[in-house]
Chain A
């Protein structure tokens, strides 16, 4: 074996993740009541916020409503944003609250995000198969999006929400815990399970030699 070091997760700088230099100016203008400045911020983040609310609620109508409410609340409470974090991180926390409210309303008996979960399962995966090089490149973008949507929607909400915040929105463990009202160990435990479950689910598409 050439090297035992696997290295950290590599996050590519996506266009949607690049913070543009004018963001503090836009936020300041929006705070002063400039609607067009706020609409520019909305246009910048609407795709990401919709993916977030869609992934949490798993319902198109709820996702739309949660997104709308998130942007409206952000505008109404903009004076409370003190610039200690990125504007987007602040917006994500508002959107998560809106999406969770929708989810709990629709599925009150299913969603209990603040309870400790002991699944009793053995975390060590069985039937381990390698994926081979660049597995995602075997699929067209729309096909890949469909696969990712499918496997994340199959995750139970407590795992799905933590994965969404930590690994997709890149909130820290502490920020995720605070946003969800969970302890840091609970976030870590759910993140580990979420990653393992998603890895297992993606293996059926990406394992070496898999024919589409």
Chain B
């Protein structure tokens, strides 16, 4: 298996969407190729850093404007 194949299949590998035989081939390659192993591992960490990061609270002025707009429009919709 070539390094390029690892990259092509990287997304499905991390999403556990590969058939077992291809997964085994990839893991055999990862056991031998340090560069591919680093790329796959740091790519996984990239996703985890983003998806495990809580969104910041709304700035107070943004939150105020949102709830004022909602109150105004929702009352109108209900009426």
Residue numbers of A with Cβ under 8 A of B are 1, 3-12, 14-16, 33, 35, 38-39, 42, 46-48, 50-51, 64, 67-68, 71-72, 75-76, 123-125, 128-131, 135-136, 144-145, 148, 152, 163, 167-168, 170, 188, 191-192, 195-196, 198-199, 202-203, 206
Contact = CB atoms under 8 A, between A and B. Distances in A.
Interface residues of B, number: 52
B56 A51 contact: yes
A6 B37 contact: yes
Nearest to B3: A124
B74 interface: yes
B37 A4 contact: yes
Interface of B: 3-4, 7-8, 10-16, 27-31, 34-35, 37-58, 62-63, 65-67, 69-70, 73-75, 77-78
Given A5-B27, A38-B74, A47 B56 contact: yes
A18 to B, nearest CB: 12
Contacts, number: 147
Interface centre among A6, A7, A64, A163 (most CB of B within 10 A): A6
A195 B46 contact: yes
A130 B38 contact: yes
B43 A68 contact: no
Contact of A128 (B39, B62, B66, B69): B39
Given A39-B70, A123-B8, A124-B4, A15 B54 contact: yes
A192 B4 CA distance: 13
Contact of A9 (B12, B47, B55): B47
20 contacts: A1-B31, A8-B14, A9-B14, A9-B44, A15-B54, A35-B78, A38-B74, A47-B55, A50-B55, A72-B69, A72-B70, A124-B3, A130-B38, A144-B53, A188-B12, A192-B7, A192-B11, A198-B50, A199-B42, A202-B46
Nearest to A50: B58
A131 B28 contact: no
A46 B69 CA distance: 13
B49 A202 contact: yes
Contact of B63 (A15, A46, A195): A46
A4 B37 CA distance: 8
